[in-house]
Amino acid sequence: MGSEGAHVRGAQRGSASDLEALFRAHWPRAYRAAFLVVHDAAAAEDIAQESFLAAIRDLDRFDRRRPFGPWLHRIVVNRAIDWTRARQLRAESELVDAPAPEAERLDGAVLAALAALPPDHRAVIVLRHLLEYTPGEIAELLGLPRGTVNSRLRRGLDSLRETL
């Protein structure tokens, strides 16, 4: 965390190498988290990239005593949920003549099982089991009551267990 704080401080002062260190450290998980929620590699790339751009825009206001990861993950996961909801709404209201792209990309039983969950549940599972946040931290990140996080985790895991 100490070195991350130094990288944030360096980036705030204009150091590109410090920014790159932050990017290299956080992009893979940000991208993977987005992908596991949206199940679309191109959308995940956009979401992770735009989240970093948003972070850069607000870098001067960032409190460097706080960890960078949760700040970024909050942006990523909320954008991913929004993207998935918007996609589902479109699918319900419009004719779909082409196969859904995500169906072509499902790779493995875990991913397929995740795809069957609602986006809110996917996000909670990803935050808990990929990014290893506690339920309390997830509640704070997503602006949800802790009980809601726990119930989504429970239902999500039950559903995964049934599918797998």
Which stretches of the chain bind other proteins, using CB under 8 A? 11, 14, 16, 19-20, 23, 27-28, 31-32, 35-36, 41-42, 44-46, 48-50, 52-53, 56, 59, 87, 90, 94-98, 105, 107-108, 110-111, 126, 129-130, 132
Q: Are 72 and 52 in contact (CB under 8 A)?
A: yes
Q: What are phi and psi of 17, to 5 degrees?
A: -70, -35
Cβ-based nearer residue to other proteins, 52 or 71:
52
Cβ-based nearer residue to other proteins, 36 or 145:
36
To the nearest whole angstrom, how small is the minimum distance from the Cβ of residue 56 to other proteins?
A: 5
To the nearest whole angstrom, how small is the minimum distance from the Cβ of residue 155 to other proteins?
A: 15
CA separation, residue 18 to residues 15, 40, 63, 67 (Å): 5, 30, 16, 15
Q: Are 34 and 119 in contact (CB under 8 A)?
A: no
